Each structure stands twice: as C-alpha cells, then as structure tokens.
C-alpha cells in the first residue's frame, strides 16, 4: 500500500548511490547476493537475541534490495536478475520470523509459524499473477521498471520492513505484532486472489474470437 509513496522518496538517493556502484564496476546481481548474505546474518543475531544487530542486518538487506534495482535500471533489467532478486527476497522474509521462533520458541513458535503461513499466501498470489500477467502481456502502470508485474496490496515491502523493525524494537511483543500483521497479510492475499482472477478473466474475454 505504501510502496508507491516510499519509492518516490528513496528513488533519487538510490539512483545516486547506484551510479557510484556502477562506476566501481559492481553489478546488480552482486548487490543482490551481498544483500542476501547480510540479511542472513540477522538469523544468528536473532537467535542470540541481539536485536540491534538484527535490525542493522535487516536494514542493510533492504537497502541492498533497493540498490540492486536502481543499478539494474542503469545496466539493464534482466529476467535472470529479477528472478534472483524475488527468490532471495521471499527466503529473507521468512527467515526473520523464523529467527524469533528460534530465539524464544515457547512464546513465539505459533505466532511465527502463522506469519510464515501467511507469507505463503501473499507470495504465491503475488507470483502466480505475475506469471499470468507476463503471459497475457498485462503491464503495471505504477511499477513500470520492474522485471515482473508487481501486484499491490495492503501489505507490501514497505509495510513488511516496518513490521520487522517493530519486531526488533519490541521483541517482547513479537507474537501480537505477528498476529496483527498476519491478519493484514491474509486481507492482502484475499484481495489479490479476487482482483487477479477478475483481471485475468476479463483479459481472457477480450482475446476470445
């Protein structure tokens, strides 16, 4: 929901940093992989309940996620790069609640499992529509420079980052934050399935002889 606003705010500084990275000879895929490795370091930090360090690695991962896209727009967007980026993103998203589960399984296990369960819903509805949209040639007027169709929803990247920040700032309240965000994720999943089905259904009718 907030991605279209946050993208406008961070686009200019990301483009400036990406220009410098391009001058150094770094590629978008290298930034994607570096960001993923940094994000994975949040897991041991969470297990050890070092939440400030976990937050640092989470923010570093998300910064790299913005930078690889900005760099790709300079060097050329590729399907391979887009595939790598989205695949590692979804692994990272599930890694964070898993870390909180490992840190305190007695209090966080059910809430963490439920949140990962909801990520399956948001992720599959997002990716399934992206595949079909690409097949049908449907373009997104909001995210024109993405390698695949970005389907909007109540919970997008910005909201997920906000949720992870709250987890690290208030780890004792992980369960309640997770349940609330999971409810919002299920709303996103339901609306994506409905709107995606209706969009593809309407597109199918247009191409019928």
pLDDT of residue 144: 47
Q: 175-179: long-range contacts (C-beta < 8 A, 24 or more apart)?
A: 175/107, 175/108, 175/110, 175/111, 176/111, 178/97, 178/100, 178/108, 178/111, 178/112, 178/114, 178/115, 179/111, 179/114, 179/115
pLDDT of residue 205: 62
Statement: residue 142 has pLDDT above 60: no
Distances (CA, A) of 74 to 20, 53, 55, 71: 11, 32, 29, 5
Statement: residue 5 has pLDDT above 60: yes
Q: What is the DSSP string of 28-39?
A: HHHHHHHHHHHH
| pLDDT tens, position by position, 17-26 | 999 999 999 9
Q: What is the DSSP string of 95-162?
A: HHHHHHHHH-HHHHHHHHHHHHHHHHHHHHHHHHHHHHHHHHT---SS-TT-SS-----SS-HHHHHH
Statement: residue 167 has pLDDT above 60: yes
Statement: residue 6 has pLDDT above 80: no
Statement: residue 151 has pLDDT above 60: no
* Average pLDDT of the residues of the chain: 88
The arithmetic mean of pLDDT across residues 136-148, rounded, is: 55
Statement: residue 60 has pLDDT above 70: yes
Statement: residue 12 has pLDDT above 80: yes
Question: 30, 6, 2, 8: which is closest to 18 by C-alpha?
Answer: 30
Q: What is this structure's pTM? A: 0.85
| pLDDT tens, position by position, 97-135 | 999 999 999 999 999 999 999 999 998 988 888 888 777
Task: Quote the CA–CA distance of 174 and 105 in Å, as a whole number.
Answer: 11
Q: Which helix (H) or strand (E) holds 60?
A: helix 51-75
What domains are there in the chain, each with its CATH number? 3-207 (1.20.120.1760)
Question: pLDDT-derived band of residue 147, with 50, 70 and 90 as boundaries?
Answer: very low
């Amino acid at each position: 929901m907030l991605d279209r606003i946050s993208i406008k705010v961070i686009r200019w500084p990301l483009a400036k940093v990406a220009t410098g990275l391009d001058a150094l000879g770094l590629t978008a895929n290298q930034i994607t992989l570096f960001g993923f490795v940094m994000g994975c370091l949040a897991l041991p930090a969470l297990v050890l309940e070092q939440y400030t360090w976990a937050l640092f690695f989470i923010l570093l991962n998300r910064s790299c996620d913005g930078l690889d896209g900005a760099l790709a727009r300079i060097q050329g967007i590729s399907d391979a790069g887009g595939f790598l980026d989205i695949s590692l993103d979804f692994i990272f998203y599930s890694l964070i609640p898993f870390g909180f589960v490992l840190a305190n399984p007695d209090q966080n296990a059910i809430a963490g499992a439920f949140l990962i369960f909801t990520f399956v819903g948001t992720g599959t509805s997002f990716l399934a529509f992206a595949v079909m949209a690409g097949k049908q040639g449907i373009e997104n007027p909001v995210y024109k420079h993405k390698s695949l169709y970005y389907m909007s929803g109540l919970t997008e990247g910005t909201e997920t980052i906000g949720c992870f920040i709250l987890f690290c700032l208030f780890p004792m309240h992980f369960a309640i934050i997770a349940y609330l965000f999971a409810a919002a994720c299920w709303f996103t999943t339901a609306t994506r399935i409905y709107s995606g089905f209706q969009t593809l259904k309407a597109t199918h009718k247009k191409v019928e002889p």
